[in-house]
Amino acid sequence: MANEGLIYFRDGELIVDTGSARVYRMNDELFLEIGDGHTLWALESELKDYTYQLRDLPKGDCLEIGLGLGVASRYLLSFPQVNHLTTVELNKDVIDAHAQIPEDTRKYPMDYDPTKHRILNADGLEYMYQTNKKYDFIFIDCYDRIDEETLPLIADIVAASARILKTGGEMVGWLDDHTPEVYALAFEQIFASV
């Protein structure tokens, strides 16, 4: 069944509703919205973007800024070279929603091992400036779009990430394939400057 004409929050099944976060399932895919205006924040089909963008880079101790549905977290933890993942998420409702999603509704369970995953309710930028821990891999995915408003924040996060990245470590930021070319180029330049 095609998604054409369907709207996840109208035609989908509400799976989790906690505070400002709601998770819907439609056509065997989960959608996360945050806020009152039906703002789509994450969807399970983003896994294809993660597999392309993260390639085989995750290893050792990893840091993820932004939780969403936990799809990237589970993908990162599927790498045999990954020892541990710390995820920093600002929105407590998103963390609560993630914890309440039944395993059998997830499209990509990927043998999730919660003992290897630590989720912190904190501001990612503040965490990076306050921690003394160093990471082998950092994945940044805490913005819903890339444009003139979010690029300065992304630049700040990348600068803070560079401080806690181990020598030889890798850092990747999620790049939405719908980002206009001018912003995508600026985004890539920010990461190339590290």
pLDDT tens digits along 111-129 = 788 899 999 999 999 999 9
Q: Which pLDDT does position 130 carry in this prediction?
A: 96
Buried b (16+ CB within 10 A) or exposed e, 45-65: ebbebbeebbeebbbbbbbbb
User: Looking at the domain assignment, is residue 27 inside a domain?
Assistant: no
72 band by pLDDT with thresholds 50, 70 and 90: very high
Q: Which residues span the domain enclosing 106? A: 44-192
Number of domains comprising the chain: 1
Q: Which pLDDT does position 1 carry in this prediction?
A: 41
User: Looking at the domain assignment, is residue 26 inside a domain?
Assistant: no
Contact indicator for 11, 38 with CB cutoff of 8 Å: no
- pLDDT at residue 110 above 90? no
- The mean per-residue pLDDT over the stretch 138-148 comes to 94
CATH no. for residue 175?
A: 3.40.50.150
User: Looking at the domain assignment, is residue 165 inside a domain?
Assistant: yes
Q: How far apart are alpha carbons 108 and 96 in whole angstroms?
A: 19
**Helix (H) and strand (E) counts in the chain:** 7, 9
User: Looking at the domain assignment, is residue 117 inside a domain?
Assistant: yes
> Residues near 22 by Cβ (< 8 Å), separated by ≥ 6?
9, 14, 16, 32, 33, 34, 97
Q: Which pLDDT does position 193 carry in this prediction?
A: 82
- pLDDT at residue 186 above 50? yes
- The mean per-residue pLDDT over the stretch 2-14 comes to 83
User: Looking at the domain assignment, is residue 13 inside a domain?
Assistant: no
Q: Which residue has the higher pLDDT, 164 or 105?
A: 164
